[in-house]
């Protein structure tokens, strides 16, 4: 009789999850599923709220990438009131997002994925953790953590707070960049560029020494990312879907996402799954660093573009080796650092014209940005008083659920006959390649029954259901 292997909890990820691996009667892996265990329900919490509060309220969805929720909510509120931000405000927002992604990518590279990449999937657990990595590579640790701090500090200066930013408002930004802030931003951005170059070099050395790791998880997939023309963009642009051969099959505005995306509730998880409609078919797809590099033609900064060309020369285009998402993440870190340096040296950044006025009464709106883990869409339905009647959030990990499940099954098949420790970490490693954010991905859809059980001395004395 078949059985189910449960990996619970999955470690070194953001949030709480378990993986179920199904084994058939012949002792073969036949399926794998990610179970997101948290329920946050923000889509229901915000109903009835004043829409102009959404940029500060939605940052509480997640402490890992609150900046992306802040920015996409602000873009939505801009559209709700028809208030187009001045260029100085757009530059501030782009800088805020760049700092956030530097922070998120660098901490994932070192603290979450680093022990697997640098110490080995098969290393004993006591020798495969952040403390062991600090001992094994102290110089890399110091510089990676400094890079993380720089990204966080850039985001804090622009956003007003390090974790829950407050400065993006309807029509622009609430504050300007003074000379003292500008000097700090320039110094930090330049240092971030140098540290990003170093981190990328170290990451390439690690992967060069583990060719079998690169080839471990091949997953040809559709990819979705944001482009401005043909250029990679994190703040604005069109959404581009490419097929596994790299051919562009759809390019569209996020405002039309309902026409092409199908959201599904799963029985065993609080996270929605999203599929893409292509004709009569519904296909899984991937978002995030690997997908973004697969869907763009070029990067907007010189050093990162040079690295992108090398990456494609070595591994082709598109790249479908899931493990190379770590390489892509480091290239994006460099691109964000260079972009931050460019913005910090743009004369328009210090303009006092940072906010525009509404041009029409409140109306429903949809916007998107690229969060560290991929495409983030906010959809607000508002009434004539500007109160939120309904909200929908499509978060990167929801887009990736199908790809994560397929990758988990692939890893389980490859590690099943090895030791229990290596099997568990091999499955976790596969999941960490996507850097999933489970706090963001959990929402209400369909019925959510609630059962409250009161137990005294081991005996159930009362139970309430809703």
Structure tokens at 429: 């490693």
Q: Which ranges of the chain have pLDDT less than 50?
A: 1, 441-452, 454, 461, 464, 466
Query: Which of 446, 433, 406, 394 is closest to 269 using CA atoms?
Result: 446
State how far the Cα of 40 lies from the Cα of 31, in Å rounded to an integer: 27
Give the per-residue pLDDT at 110: 87
pLDDT in tens, 86-118: 999 999 999 999 999 999 999 888 888 888 888
Q: Is 6 helix (H, G, I), strand (E, B) or coil?
A: strand
10 Å CB burial of residue 32 (0-12, 13-18, 19+) is buried
Give the per-residue pLDDT at 300: 98
What single DSSP character describes residue 118?
I
Give the per-residue pLDDT at 269: 61
Give the per-residue pLDDT at 448: 40
Q: Where are the domains of the chain?
A: 1-38+405-466, 40-404
Paired strand residues for 121: none
Give the per-residue pLDDT at 443: 45
Give the per-residue pLDDT at 441: 45
State how far the Cα of 54 lies from the Cα of 393, in Å rounded to an integer: 12
The correct CATH number of 40-404 out of 3.40.50.720, 1.10.645.10, 3.30.1490.390, 3.40.50.10800 is 1.10.645.10
Give the per-residue pLDDT at 409: 86
Give the per-residue pLDDT at 382: 97
**Distance in angstroms between the alpha carbons of the first and the last residue of the chain:** 36
State how far the Cα of 33 lies from the Cα of 269, in Å rounded to an integer: 9
Structure tokens at 243: 């097929």
Query: Which of 59, 155, 164 is closest to 107 using CA atoms?
Result: 155
Give the per-residue pLDDT at 464: 45
Give the per-residue pLDDT at 412: 85
Give the per-residue pLDDT at 360: 96
Give the per-residue pLDDT at 1: 46
Give the per-residue pLDDT at 449: 45
Q: Are 286 and 400 in contact (CB under 8 A)?
A: yes
State how far the Cα of 291 lies from the Cα of 336, in Å rounded to an integer: 16
Structure tokens at 80: 């709700």
Give the per-residue pLDDT at 330: 97
The answer for residues whose C-beta is within 8 angstroms of residue 65's C-beta and 6 or more apart is: 100, 104, 371, 372, 373, 437, 440
List alpha helices for 257-348, DSSP H.
Answer: 257-260, 289-295, 302-315, 325-344
State how far the Cα of 2 lies from the Cα of 201, in Å rounded to an integer: 46
State how far the Cα of 424 lies from the Cα of 432, in Å rounded to an integer: 12
State how far the Cα of 26 lies from the Cα of 5, in Å rounded to an integer: 15
């Amino acid at each position: 009789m078949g059985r189910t292997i449960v990996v619970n909890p999955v470690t070194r990820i953001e949030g709480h999850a378990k993986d179920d691996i199904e084994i058939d009667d012949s002792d073969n892996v036949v399926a794998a599923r990610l179970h997101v265990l948290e329920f946050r329900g923000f889509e229901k919490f915000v109903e009835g709220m004043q829409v102009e509060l959404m940029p500060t309220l939605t940052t509480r969805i997640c402490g890992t990438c609150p900046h992306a929720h802040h920015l996409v909510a602000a873009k939505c509120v801009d559209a709700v009131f028809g208030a187009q931000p001045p260029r100085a405000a757009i530059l501030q927002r782009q800088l805020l997002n760049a700092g956030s992604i530097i922070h998120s990518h660098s901490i994932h590279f070192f603290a979450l994925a680093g022990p697997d990449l640098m110490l080995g999937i098969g290393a004993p657990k006591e020798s495969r953790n952040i403390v062991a990595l600090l001992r094994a590579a102290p110089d890399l640790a110091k510089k990676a953590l400094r890079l993380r701090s720089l990204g966080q500090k850039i985001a804090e200066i622009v956003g007003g707070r390090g974790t829950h930013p407050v400065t993006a408002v309807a029509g622009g930004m609430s504050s300007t960049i003074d000379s003292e802030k500008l000097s700090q931003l320039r110094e930090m951005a330049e240092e971030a560029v140098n540290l990003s170059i170093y981190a990328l070099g170290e990451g390439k050395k690690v992967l060069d020494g583990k060719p079998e790791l690169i080839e471990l998880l091949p997953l040809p997939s559709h990819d979705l990312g944001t482009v401005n023309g043909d250029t990679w963009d994190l703040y604005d642009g069109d959404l581009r879907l490419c097929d596994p051969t790299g051919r562009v099959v759809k390019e569209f505005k996020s405002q039309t996402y309902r026409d092409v995306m199908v959201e599904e509730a799963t029985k065993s998880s609080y996270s929605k799954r999203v599929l893409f409609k292509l004709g009569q078919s519904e296909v899984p797809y991937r978002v995030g660093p690997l997908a973004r590099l697969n869907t763009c033609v070029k990067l907007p900064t010189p050093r990162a573009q040079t690295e992108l060309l090398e990456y494609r020369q070595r591994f082709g285009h598109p790249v479908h080796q899931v493990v190379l998402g770590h390489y892509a993440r480091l290239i994006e870190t460099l691109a964000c650092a260079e972009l931050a340096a460019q913005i910090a040296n743009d004369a328009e950044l210090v303009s006092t014209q940072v906010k525009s006025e509404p041009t029409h009464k409140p109306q429903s709106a949809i916007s998107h940005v690229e969060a560290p883990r991929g495409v983030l869409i906010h959809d607000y339905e508002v009434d004539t008083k500007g109160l939120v009647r309904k909200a929908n959030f499509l978060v990167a990990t929801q887009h990736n659920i199908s790809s994560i499940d397929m990758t988990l099954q692939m890893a389980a098949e490859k590690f099943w006959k090895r030791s229990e420790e290596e099997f568990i970490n091999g499955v976790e490693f596969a999941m960490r390649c996507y850097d999933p954010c489970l706090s963001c991905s959990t929402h209400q859809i369909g019925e959510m029954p609630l059962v409250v059980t009161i137990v005294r001395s081991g005996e159930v004395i009362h139970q309430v259901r809703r």
